[in-house]
């Protein structure tokens, strides 16, 4: 495993570029994030191959590959296991559960996991369940962490990728539980005004629906 920024120890945060790393995967060597330029990427870690919760997660991810593809988004797994273990586990899932794992899995020696903050000391030497959502420019847009005993909600990850794309395209914000928000349903939130004049005009606008000048929404 090679890390081209081996001396850089600060983990990337939201808004940072994903550090360049050369990784070994079940689909060959890949350079991150360059090999995914122009695409969204969900990079996720799991504690270990041949474990119950991780197996259910990989089946869930695999069954949603089509949804991610429609969003121009690729999946990339990771754990501190060797390539042969990843391959054998994938074969087991396909043979026993009838689901093919179509996305690559990084075989990490701990270098990548440490670089991305996926190894938490009080959780042992395995990676926790981390998710990094990376945009087509290689920028980290969202980070999620789950404990080893709690499997992820894959539909939420799909929603986040879809939502971030809506945000970027329309320069808006999204409410809780979008697109099924309790107050504004599938509407989006428009940016608040930046001056007094615009604030006063906002409530008179026919373009938006407003609870007040600072909370206005519209249907795309």
Q: Please say whether the beta carbons of 5 and 21 come within 8 A.
A: yes
Which residue is catalytic, options 54, 73, 210, 216?
Answer: 54
Q: Are 106 and 25 in contact (CB under 8 A)?
A: yes
Q: What distance lies between CA 25 and its chain's CA centroid?
A: 18
- CB-CB contact of 14 with 143 (8 Å): yes
Q: Which segments of 84-184 are extended strands (E)?
A: 105-107, 129-134, 140-146
Structure tokens at 122: 């009080």
Q: Rounded CA gap, 187 and 37, in Å?
A: 30
Q: How far apart are CA 97 and CA 100, in angstroms?
A: 9
54 included as an active-site residue: yes
Active site positions, annotated? 54
């Amino acid at each position: 495993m090679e890390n081209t920024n081996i001396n850089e120890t600060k983990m990337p945060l939201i808004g940072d570029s994903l550090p360049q790393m050369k990784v070994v995967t079940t689909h060959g060597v890949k350079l991150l994030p360059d090999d995914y330029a122009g695409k969204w990427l969900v990079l996720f870690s799991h504690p270990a191959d041949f474990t119950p919760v991780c197996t259910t997660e990989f089946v869930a991810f695999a069954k949603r590959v089509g949804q991610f593809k429609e969003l121009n988004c690729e999946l990339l797994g990771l754990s501190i296991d060797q390539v042969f273990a990843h391959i054998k586990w994938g074969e087991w899932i396909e043979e026993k559960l009838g689901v093919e794992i179509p996305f690559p899995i990084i075989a990490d020696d701990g270098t990548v996991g440490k670089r991305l903050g996926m190894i938490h000391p009080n959780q042992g030497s395995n990676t926790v369940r981390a998710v990094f959502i990376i945009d087509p420019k290689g920028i980290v847009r969202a980070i999620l962490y789950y404990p080893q005993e709690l499997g992820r909600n894959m539909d939420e990850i799909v929603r986040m990728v879809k939502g971030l794309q809506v945000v970027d395209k329309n320069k808006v914000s999204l409410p809780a539980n979008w697109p099924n928000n309790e107050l504004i349903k599938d509407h989006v939130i428009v940016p608040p005004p930046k001056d007094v004049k615009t604030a006063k005009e906002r409530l008179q606008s026919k373009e938006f629906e407003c609870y007040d000048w600072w909370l206005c929404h519209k249907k795309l």
